[in-house]
Amino acid sequence: MADFRNFINGQWIATGKTFENRNPADNSLVGMVHEAGQAEVDAAVQAARAALQGPWGSLKVQQRVDLLHAIVDGIDKRFDEFLEAEIKDTGKPRRLASHLDIPRGAANFKIFADLIRNVPGESFGMDTPDGGRALNYAVRAPRGVIGVICPWNLPLLLMTWKVGPALACGNTVVVKPSEDTPATATLLGEIMNDVGVPHGVYNVVHGFGPESAGEYLTAHPGVDGITFTGETRTGEAIMTAAAKGLRPVSLELGGKNPGIVFADADFDKAVAGIARSTFENTGQVCLGTERVYVQRPIFERFVAALKARAESFRMGDPFDDDVDFGPLVSLKHREKVLSYYEKARKEGATVVTGGGVPGMTGPLADGAWVQPTIWTGLPETSPVIREEIFGPCCHIQPFDTEDEVIRMANETPYGLAATVWTQDLSAAHRLGAALNVGLCWINSWFLRDLRTAFGGARQSGIGREGGVHSLEFYTEMRNVCVKL
Ligand SMILES: NC(=O)C1=CN([C@@H]2O[C@H](COP(=O)(O)OP(=O)(O)OC[C@H]3O[C@@H](n4cnc5c(N)ncnc54)[C@H](O)[C@@H]3O)[C@@H](O)[C@H]2O)C=CC1
Ligand SMILES: O=C(O)/C=C/C=C(\O)C(=O)O
């Protein structure tokens, strides 16, 4: 049985208090997790500060870059261990984790190692009142100790998406993985020690949010900035904690993302695209589609085709290569998703497919499984259409005109992502400009160039990460003005 300890100053720290980590595919016990208290969080923050002021802070950029590349190699060498850890933690199918989560875990270090060596600086020459000249130039300093609070849906991917740029910019980190998925953040500690990252640069504290490691970390005065991915309400709590001491935050929060299919779209590609954006990772992707709008002439045909897709998924042991649909992350999360399945039924939705729990057999019968689900017939005011469910489900609504669909798509407090399917390039560009989201994919979904700005509008977040945009959060810009 696994023993997930805190990783503080390069050491594995047990605490007197543990909680269970279970595999959501069959609810079997994977291991015990050592919950960090205030003392462990204090120790982690102190270690991070000491590393910043000591060996890490004095490294040359090229030495940091070499270490980041060594981390990439370290993940690649132990790819199968990361894969197994992620699958047991989340229940996600091997075919997904092996193509998405683990490769991106490594890529997130590589992209920022490459970026930090090549990023240009800013400079302005100026005339001075005495008739002379002065030169301004900007230097970027690391922000300091970064608190990294992570969710459970893409544990390694989302954690390294923050740790990669943080370390590339010369910061040190204290990571608080989700209580549901402690494994890969812990395993990464072994890589850090193996490749010689100085102790204290990367620390991991385990636990929950309120009155546990999450709150202790975000409230800690020794933390200089906090980056978080997760639910909008949690983002608000973290921003409140960060206000004390005026610490900056980078928040990537919830969504209720629209998928828009015009009648002129390549039909098969649109069906495959919306099937992916709705059901991939069992619907547990913040960018996923839960509201689908289909232009009326193809509405019935589209609903039937998406239903056929939803019913073709193969559920089973996530380690089997042909399985493409896993359980939800936990029985607790299943309760939330099923409560929306129930709500939809009570509100009179037409259940096109799914709406319940599949009949799994053997040990899998104890897992957090739900059926992929499609509804039609609800009014746009329904909570099923307005609130983030974070499950493998969508509601499909017909529309007639471009203006109408833009209005419906934007009628939400969120603004994370959209996916639009059309062959009319002009319409595509108009939608790209009119949709109030941080990320708009046309004839695609979750197609990621890691140099681009990533983040949400309105209640979907604050700030952008990715490429040079990450520097805004992970560095402090200083201007030096030299009178010549
Ligand atoms: N990527 C995303 O956008 C995600 C969205 N969600 C949404 O959030 C809902 C709830 O799931 P949770 O796991 O409870 O998400 P959450 O957003 O509450 O938890 C994410 C992380 O924040 C930590 N946390 C929670 N409260 C905190 C606090 N007050 N201070 C510091 N850290 C805190 C948790 O321990 C975890 O590490 C889901 O049903 C889903 O709708 C969940 C996971 C990912
Ligand atoms: O590609 C990324 O960097 C992130 C993708 C997904 C999320 O942010 C999420 O599901 O929270």
Residues 222 and 283 occupy one common structural domain: no
421 lines ligand 2 (CB under 6 A): no
Residues 417 and 479 occupy one common structural domain: no
Determine the atom of ligand 1 nearest the C-alpha atom of 238. Answer: 30
Of the ligands numbered here, which is closest to the C-alpha atom of 233?
A: 1
Of the ligands numbered here, which is closest to the C-alpha atom of 390?
A: 1
Residue 452 lies in a domain: no
Residues 261 and 244 occupy one common structural domain: no
Determine the atom of ligand 2 nearest the C-alpha atom of 284. Answer: 10
Residue 451 lies in a domain: no
Residues 277 and 422 occupy one common structural domain: yes
Give the domain extent around 368.
Answer: 257-442
81 an active-site residue? no
Residues 236 and 115 occupy one common structural domain: yes
SS3 263: coil
- Report the nearest-CA residue for atom 27 of ligand 1: 209
Q: Tell me the best of 19, 234, 239, 285 to mutate to test the pocket of ligand 1, counting ligand atoms within 8 Å of each CB and taking the most.
A: 234
- Report the nearest-CA residue for atom 10 of ligand 1: 231
Judge contact between 145 and 46, C-beta under 8 A.
Answer: no
| HSE toward the beta carbon, residue 474, CA cutoff 13 A | 25
According to DSSP, the residues that pair with 261 across neighbouring strands are 294, 421
285 lines ligand 2 (CB under 6 A): yes
Q: From start to end of 38-179, where are the E strands?
A: 123-127, 133-142, 145-149, 172-176
- Can you give the CATH number for the domain in which 28 is found? 3.40.605.10
Residues 16 and 83 occupy one common structural domain: yes
- Report the nearest-CA residue for atom 8 of ligand 2: 286
Residues 192 and 308 occupy one common structural domain: no
Task: Please give the tally of structural domains in the chain.
Answer: 2
Residues 248 and 263 occupy one common structural domain: no
Find the 309 Cα to ligand 2 centroid distance in Å: 24
The pLDDT of residue 419: 98
Find the 369 Cα to ligand 2 centroid distance in Å: 22
Residues 413 and 325 occupy one common structural domain: yes
Residue 234 lies in a domain: yes
According to DSSP, the residues that pair with 397 across neighbouring strands are 293
Residues 289 and 194 occupy one common structural domain: no
Q: Is the dihedral of CA 325, 329, 331, 337 positive or negative?
A: negative
Residue 462 lies in a domain: yes
Residues 299 and 202 occupy one common structural domain: no
Residue 447 lies in a domain: no
Residue 42 lies in a domain: yes
Q: From start to end of 185-312, where are the E strands?
A: 202-204, 225-229, 249-252, 257-261, 289-295
Taking phi first (over 0 means left), then psi (-120 to 50 degrees means alpha), and beta for anything else, what does residue 39 get?
Answer: alpha
Number of H helices, E strands in the chain: 16, 21
Catalytically annotated residue among 35, 179, 215, 252: 252
The pLDDT of residue 408: 98
Residue 449 lies in a domain: no
Spell 49-77 as b/e; 16+ CB within 10 A means b: bbbbeeebbeeeeeebbebbebbbebbee
Residue 72 lies in a domain: yes
Find the 234 Cα to ligand 1 centroid distance in Å: 6
Residues 133 and 182 occupy one common structural domain: yes
- Can you give the CATH number for the domain in which 406 is found? 3.40.309.10
Backbone angles phi, psi at 26, to 5 degrees: -140, 5
Taking the chain (484 residues) in runs of 10, the rounded mean pLDDT of each run is: 97 97 98 98 98 96 98 98 98 98 98 96 97 98 98 98 98 98 98 98 98 98 98 98 98 98 98 98 98 98 98 98 98 98 98 98 98 98 98 98 98 98 98 98 98 98 97 97 98
252 lines ligand 2 (CB under 6 A): yes
